[in-house]
Amino acid sequence: MKNIYENLGISEEVLRFGEEILAGLKTRFEEIDENAEYNQLKVISAMQKNRVSAACFASSSGYGYDDLGRDVLEKVYADTFHTEDALMRQQITCGTHALGIALAGNLRPGDELLSPVGRPYDTLEEIIGIQPSVGSLAEYGITYRQVDLKPDGGFDYDAIRAAVNEKTRMATIQRSKGYQSRPSFSVGQIGELIAFLRKIKPELIIMVDNCYGEFTERIEPSDVGADMVVGSLIKNPGGGLAATGGYIAGTKECVERAAYRLTTPGLGKEVGASIEVNRSFFQGFFLAPVVTAAALKGAIFAANIYEKLGFPVIPDSVESRHDIIQAVTLKSPEALIAFCKGIQAGSPVDSYVDPVPGDMPGYDSQVIMAAGAFVQGSSIELSADGPLREPYNVYFQGGLTWPSAKLGILSSLQKLTEAGIVRI
């Protein structure tokens, strides 16, 4: 084992340090495997209930009318998330697109969107109109209001109560931290917030940005009252096999409105050809619980390593996990770049490439991204990224298998030691 790691650029010193950390994680890894088993059985149950067969893997073209596989898979998603309906399409290009569809489909001019959890993820700012953009919700007369979290990361219930008014039509809750230093929210915390919002305004539509969170717990936000849960197939639910796509699962009315926004009024879910993706979408969703478990193990391993070396980490080494993202505060641009170079070097694809900071659409500062992935931008695969701004946080996630995640983390540590930034 030492020899093969050495061939992959990992020194004996770094490997030994990693193995010492790993020795203390056996119990946590067993708990993750138990959750993966539960979620795996949940998916299989939904597939059996909806009579998934080989015929579901066939492709459609053109309009995509009567696409058996597409329609059955949407029922599988709905049953897994315990919702009335689901929209799951390759025509949804990413998680940001899915969120934009859900928002635009369910908000009307004169409505107000409320974020009770502070500023949303960077790429939503132009959709909402926080940053001016052509076609934003603001251009259609939809206003936005937010309530910042308390300094300890908790919900400011008094401010939320004061923010809800007669125009408030929808509340959006971002489960994962995004490019922030706050903790990600558990499904239990989200449920408490939803219950509070319902007491203030029962008819409020509540949407949860579920990106990075699927299958990290045994229940989803839809189990605690969310009207819509929204995510990307090149994150957790695609299982590493989905080459594109996104989903919206929720009430029949909310999903129908989103479908009319995705296609056109009058057509909705009836159109949208699957074009050779049904098999990979089914198989990816089947694998998603165990792939997510591998990513969770990688995140916990990274947290324990970097906390031991004195870097602030969110979540910390012992906290419960509610998404696959691990944030590490590296404190300097040099450390951020070295970390990402290590992740890239430990990847199965493009391992010889050095990532460099650059401008990215939807971000207000340069971003460095390491992603030696089979699917471009797939953050369920081994990847790391972060904006080049203080405090120089890196956001690590993914790893289709636990051994690949382990290699990537050790490789990031190797680059930091070689650069003289850390000492083991």
The CATH number of the domain where 104 resides is what?
3.40.640.10
pLDDT of residue 337: 97
- Asked if 318 and 276 sit in the same domain, the reply is no
Our CA angle for 32, 33, 37, nearest 5°, is 120
Whether residue 367 is contained in a domain is answered as yes
- Asked if 159 and 275 sit in the same domain, the reply is yes
CB neighbour list of residue 194: distance below 8 Å, 6 or more residues apart: 173, 206, 221, 224, 225, 226
pLDDT of residue 362: 63
Sequential pLDDT tens for the chain (424 residues): 999 999 999 999 999 999 999 999 999 999 999 999 999 999 999 999 999 999 999 999 999 999 999 999 999 999 999 999 999 999 999 999 999 999 999 999 999 999 999 999 888 999 999 999 999 999 999 999 999 999 999 999 999 999 999 999 999 999 998 767 788 999 999 999 999 999 999 999 999 999 999 999 999 999 999 999 999 999 999 999 999 999 999 999 999 999 999 999 999 999 999 999 999 999 999 999 999 999 999 999 999 999 999 999 999 999 999 999 999 999 999 999 999 999 999 999 999 999 999 987 767 789 999 999 999 989 999 999 999 999 999 999 999 999 999 999 999 999 999 999 999 9
- Asked if 221 and 352 sit in the same domain, the reply is no
Listed residue (81, 99, 136, 96) closest to 258, CA to CA? 99
Q: For 143-189, where are the E strands, in sequence order?
A: 143-146, 168-174
Whether residue 124 is contained in a domain is answered as yes
- Asked if 149 and 188 sit in the same domain, the reply is yes
Residue 199 DSSP SS3: helix
Q: Which two tokens stand for residue 211?
A: 């990106």
**8 Å CB contact between 87 and 255:** yes
- Domain with 305, as residue range(s), is 2-40+289-418
* Overall number of domains in the chain: 2
Distance, CA of 74 to CA of 247 (rounded, Å): 9
Residues recorded for the chain = 424
The last residue of a domain, from among 226, 251, 285: 285
CA quadruple 371, 134, 172, 84: dihedral sign: negative
The last residue of a domain, from among 268, 285, 302: 285
The last residue of a domain, from among 285, 309, 335: 285
CA quadruple 36, 42, 45, 49: dihedral sign: negative
- Asked if 371 and 360 sit in the same domain, the reply is yes
pTM as predicted: 0.94
- Asked if 246 and 295 sit in the same domain, the reply is no
Whether residue 423 is contained in a domain is answered as no
- Asked if 182 and 56 sit in the same domain, the reply is yes
- Asked if 203 and 256 sit in the same domain, the reply is yes
- Asked if 34 and 136 sit in the same domain, the reply is no
- Asked if 202 and 241 sit in the same domain, the reply is yes
Within the chain, what is the greatest distance between any pair of CA atoms?
66
**8 Å CB contact between 273 and 47:** no
Whether residue 424 is contained in a domain is answered as no
- Asked if 276 and 368 sit in the same domain, the reply is no
- Here the CATH number for the domain that contains residue 305 is 3.90.1150.60
- Asked if 30 and 60 sit in the same domain, the reply is no
